[in-house]
Amino acid sequence: MGRPRLEEPVRAAVLEYLITAETLSHDEAPLNTLAVAERLNFNRKTLKKYGLDKEITAAAERQTRNGKLSGKKNRATVPG
């Protein structure tokens, strides 16, 4: 018997994480293949194998366009 395919659970976990991460700042949720792999405890090569690196790059672009600032940056710019 071979190993079970991991694509379905890996893809579901990554896409769920990307939805959440897009609403956060880059500092709070960096969106690159290595950071996502480490956060979700997957090998980065597994993410690339299933083409999820393209999904991660697209999510990173959306995160940048949204321009969210981290909580630290927000506090620093608010007059006291």
DSSP 67: T
Dist. CA 14–CA 58, nearest whole Å: 13
pLDDT at 67: 74
Instruction: State the alpha helices, DSSP H only, in the chain.
Output: 7-21, 33-40, 44-49, 52-66, 71-77
* Arithmetic mean of pLDDT, 41-68: 92
Quick one: angle between helices 7-21 and 33-40, nearest 10?
110
Q: List the domain boundaries for the chain.
A: 7-66
pLDDT-based confidence at residue 7 (cuts at 50, 70, 90): very high
What is the Cα gyration radius of the chain? Answer: 15
Q: Is the pLDDT of residue 47 over 60?
A: yes
